[in-house]
A and B are shown apart, each in its own frame.
Chain A
């Protein structure tokens, strides 16, 4: 009974406390807490090369609670929140939104990866969010607001969202079908015109990257604060460009951004910013957020353990570094089908486990393909195609991982001949290779970047970038779906999985 009576009183306490910071015409103190590029990293983890574990959204949430008690506070998110880690991906971002609701976020800008589950899923996430999701330069989706204008601590604060114009080139085209991603500068200027002299403070919540944020600050001088994301930049102290402050808080909730402002007569007269490193061994977790994290963690474990299909025979990875394998063929076939390419290439070294005859679980697929490899679709000519596969079979002993596992192409090679002249009888789609013709080839971002020594691929991309825009060689760089996601999706759809060694790569003795 007593508790009930106390609750309204307790909830007014912050208000009474904050009145101290609000003086008519006098300076007003405001705190901005911010996070960007969370990518569903809900639990603490030890980044590669780091001596310690960092992050953990429940620990960060408790620090937010503490800092909120000190002055009027806005908690903002600068995009790429709902996609990345399985903790978020397996629920298409629902887990992240639940955490963000519990943390009482004030606003969020869309990041390019927010589109990765498609527009229908994104609409659901926007409906679930108890905070506005912004992007002033996206046209075609009515659920997205350009900005919000709200009064906090006696200040009218405008928060405007901007997303990178490159979004359509970094996700599956169907995810952004019917949407336009307009110029950030034009969109910012349009919003500023609409807002007129209403706001006391203008904050841009940007998923553009630091370089673009700097340009935005140069060109739209009325912006007082840019809270950025996209480049995963660890800005320890706010960057000042003219009168604009730019901040960004690294990635994966490893730090919490804190920007304290003192505002008078619509001007920031004082500021202080820092990043608080989230060390799970030094913080307590917020119990509400910790419960949500744990609940989805348990569900993640059970989803990974669910049977998604059945292998009708052993799918063998052994030998993938020096010969055609049925598992290599299966993965390459799926990659080619999903990208609608003429040819697909993966490297044998990317296949790390077998799938034995019997039930296939999602965790089995992740054991086979543990790396974060994304599909890339390239335009290559016949001559280049031959050079790519000549490199692939240049180490037939399999000490490196470069040996090709392929789809849509057949060839014969002889290790007796010199490197670069080993392949004969290449056929693409059943027809002899035309050295002058153009083909589409799907591969992994790792190989396209020259990984496992595929410099030939890197060189083709570089040459294309230097050529005219019509001759760019990268047709698709799909960072919305890992290759393991493609294999999981295929298995769920087909249920019964088989594959064979059909002689697409033949070794002459």
Chain B
């Protein structure tokens, strides 16, 4: 069912495209040798090039180009062997050169495609228009001094990838799914950490509305939205605003807007009339960027397995459902964790434990996959204890909780607590005999046709054995004891 917003004049379709700005993971900045790492004292990671000093020249960082190419390959996009840098001219205090070096006319990556999955399981392709490299600006702070603004240039010159989508997105949900998917791919590739809170990934959201079947109407651009949730809210809020404008007989004007998460609305930043004239022209300090096909191929050969492929492989190789596979490949580290656990074991059992008790414990303890509540090795050992019938499934849950609590190995917990499953048929038969003797009335009821009581007897036996009885053997012994 397509997403529609209902107005007074009927239903409206939302049209949305995203420009994602993703900070490149690299040792040094895009055009200088200064450190590109996050943090550091203000202005600690600034070279004379970054500060725009006279006579300083940019030199392209090969690793940043490699990261952009890897990302392009991950987005199944065309890699442009010839690309070029341009200057985007505007004055601002945290833009030291008075221009940003960007790629306007000839981006390093061309058209590509990203697959998103919606709540109802629908799969949809979102087109990628382009990906280009550009410099980040510094940061102006206006709240550090009563009369002055202060500037931190640590971020100035850090490489950014701007990933531009086609206007293929049709709902807030799709916008969110797209952004999450881009982030997932970037993280898999190791080309951007995707931390929206730290600003290393942010999105400009282009929104317009139209009556279904119409041509595109005027769009507005919502700048610098910094979480998936806000992007989804911003799409809806802006679409509602535009519908109201159209329906009141007004006209949506093309402009740049800001999303205010506190009020859940967008506000005008500047209109087209006072938009900057960026005076783009080819950056004369840099030669065109010419890539060798063989180099691109070598990057391609070294790409990690990406989430879509991994998910399909998990389904085939481990025989787990498509949905479960999606959960397990959400993050590279989770997928790796799963594969460590599943290796040489019952892969479905491993998947169930991961999506069940393991994630529950992770959420409950506030831990993450890098610092998991139990290690992959221990979880694997626990599965081994289940498989070789040392413990049964019920006891395993107790052992798991103990592992979370103490960090001890499952084998040690089972031994120290004497949780080993009882497979001694003699002991089980004794326990069965005791239970049947103590519940003679129920035995009579059972024998008169109340079959459901079978479970009651099994439960009582297990209880008497402190849960350690081998379930299959207990079942068999109860049946035998009842004369079945």
A, B in one complex: no
Q: Taking beta carbons and an 8 Å cutoff, which residues of B are in contact with A? A: none
Q: Taking beta carbons and an 8 Å cutoff, which residues of A are in contact with B? A: none
